[in-house]
Amino acid sequence: MKLYDGGRAPNPRRVRIFLAEKGLNVPLEPVDMGALGHREEAVTRRNPLQRLPVLELDDGTVLTETIAICRYFEELHPEPVLFGTGALGRAKVEMWQRRMEFNLFTPVAQAFRHIHPAMKEWEVPQVPEWGEANKPKAVEFLRLLDKELAGREFIAGDSYSVADITGLVAVDFMKPARIQLPDDCVHVLRWYKAVSGRPSASA
């Protein structure tokens, strides 16, 4: 088994945090995304979309997409539970995981990809207006999330889940995307301090 990893890139980091929470060690194959290593043959042959992470199993089977990879490891190693417990618990995690991806992670990524000079060769064409348009979308969702977190410890309930991993990485990604976390989002700030202080956050 081998995980093709993209270093500080958000999606590979989500998988590393997930694995750290599970206490799992998976051999990493570093890919220099800054040098466009994800577009080279080794990755392209395994994932024609040229995106990371990519998990290659011992029998040559390839899994791509962050959440698909995380679900694979959840099935193999169900403890600690990171996708929810029971029908309702799993549904709530799924609901919030998608909300975090679509309403925070994606707008932050769009802002970064369409505004940051380092992404000029990646995002063709860069549309700065689209990048700027996504900034308030992320902030608006953070204000909604702040109200939700007033009544619970973690994003999907009282237990840490994959939705918290997506949220943590998205908030960290806001800095290079030049999006400010509002100071009045006190519940988000409390949550962020807690999840960023977990040992897995440094994975």
36-88 residue pLDDT tens:
999 999 999 999 999 999 999 999 999 999 999 999 999 999 999 999 999 99
* Weakest-pLDDT range from 77-81, 117-121, 187-191: 117-121
Give the DSSP H/E element, type plus range, for residue 56: strand 54-56
Q: Which CATH class is domain 86-202?
A: mainly alpha
CA-closest candidate to residue 167, choices 150, 183, 155: 155
pLDDT the model gives residue 121: 83
Between the alpha carbon of residue 192 and those of residues 4, 67, 186, the distances in Å are 28, 21, 10
Between the alpha carbon of residue 142 and those of residues 99, 111, 152, 177, the distances in Å are 11, 15, 15, 15
Cα–Cα dist 168/164, whole Å: 6
* Fold for the domain defined by 2-76: Glutaredoxin (3.40.30)
Place of tokens 């700027």: 132
Average pLDDT over residues 179-201: 98
Residue extent(s) of CATH 1.20.1050.10 domains in the chain: 86-202
Q: Compare 69 and 120 and report the one with higher pLDDT.
A: 69
Q: Are strands 54-56 and 62-64 parallel, antiparallel or unpaired?
A: antiparallel
Residue extent(s) of CATH 3.40.30.10 domains in the chain: 2-76
